Amino acid sequence: MVKIKRMPITKSAKKALRQSKKHQIRNLSYKNKIKSLIKEIRTLVSQSKIKEAKNLLPQIYKALDKAAKVGVIKKNTASRKKSRMTKLISKTS
């Protein structure tokens, strides 16, 4: 089924569309940053480079906290991801 996108007609709808596009770009940048950091930590752990992975932990914490603060992800999701990354690193060391 093809979804038909409708163009905004009213002034407020046009503004809402502009805002949602800006928000979407900003939100995606937060999510991509988180995903890349998590992927990097996982690869470092798989290569047994625990020291480098531990050095990345503050960065992932910062990115997750910021994303949760601005509403990209929920607070518990951020906590869960932080917990799992810490657990992964401490388990292998």
- Could you list the pLDDT tens digit for every one of the 93 residues in the chain? 767 777 888 999 999 999 999 999 999 999 999 999 999 999 999 999 999 999 999 999 999 999 999 999 999 999 999 999 999 999 886
Is residue 30 a part of any domain in this protein?
yes
User: Domain residues for 76?
Assistant: 22-92
Is residue 53 a part of any domain in this protein?
yes
CATH label of the domain that carries residue 52: 1.20.58.110
pLDDT on residue 6: 79
Q: What number of helices (H) and strands (E) belong to the chain?
A: 3, 0
pLDDT on residue 3: 72
pLDDT on residue 18: 93
> How far apart are the C-alpha atoms of 79 and 60, rounded to whole Å?
11
Is residue 37 a part of any domain in this protein?
yes
pLDDT on residue 92: 83
